Structure 1
Amino acid sequence: MKKFGLLVAGGIASVILLSTIGPMVGLLVSLLLLYFIFKQFLKAESTGGKIGLGIIGFIVLMASIHNAPAIIGVVAAYVLYLVYKKWNENKHTKIKEESDPFVNFEKQWNELNKY
């Protein structure tokens, strides 16, 4: 039953992630543009250049805000990562216990100490 819940959560998260790839790419591009515009704004010495870069930066900032659904896609990617970790958690712990010879010895030692 736990695997079924993880499967459903992973399926929903993957559908949301796939549907928000476009806004995620748009947000990435607009934030990169905004970063380079800001760096040029700090380097500009003329007032006209600063005003022009400020206007362009404002337009790109509005484009970044328009791609806000990309944040939902990032959350979906994180949920998908958590589902992946939980899915493989049981496999790793079982393999670790079976391959470690001292775990069996510790269990037997604890059983002997009970009496």
Structure 2
Amino acid sequence: MKKFLLFLAGLTALGLLLANLGPMILLGASVWLLYIVFKQFVKSDSTAGKIGWIVVGLIVLSIAVSNVYAVVGVAAAYVLYWIYKNWTSRTQNSTSEKGDDPFTNFEREWADLNK
């Protein structure tokens, strides 16, 4: 039952990730552009140049703020990663705890027969 719920949660997280993939790309691009605008602002010597870079920076900042709900996509990617880790660790722990490995059981039985 837990695997089924993890599967449903994974499908939901994958859907959210795919739905927010475009805004996530735009948010990343706008943050990169803000970095470039800031670097150009610092390099600029004239007052008109600085004002121009501030205007461009405000435009790019408005694009970044409009895509801030892309954080939902990042959270969905983290949930998907967590589900994957939980899914794989659960299967490895259950196998090692129960001792259902046929080779381990065979070695144990063979050692008992040789005594």
TM bucket (normalised to shorter chain) is 0.7 to 0.9
Mapped to 2, the partners of 1:87 and 1:6 lie a distance apart of: 8
Identical aligned pairs, as a percentage? 47
Long gaps (5+) in structure 2: 105-115
Q: TM-score, normalised by structure 2?
A: 0.81
How far apart are 1:68 and its partner, in Å? 1.1
How far apart are 1:69 and its partner, in Å? 1.6
Mapped to 2, the partners of 1:92 and 1:47 lie a distance apart of: 63
How far apart are 1:43 and its partner, in Å? 1.1
Aligned length: 100
Q: TM-score, normalised by structure 1?
A: 0.81
Mapped to 2, the partners of 1:54 and 1:90 lie a distance apart of: 52
User: Which amino acid counterpart does residue 6 of structure 1 have in structure 2?
Assistant: L
Q: Root-mean-square deviation (CA), in Å?
A: 1.5
1:34-49 to structure 2, matched below 5 A, reads 34-49=34-49
Mapped to 2, the partners of 1:3 and 1:28 lie a distance apart of: 33
Q: Say whether residues 1:8 and 2:8 are aligned partners.
A: yes
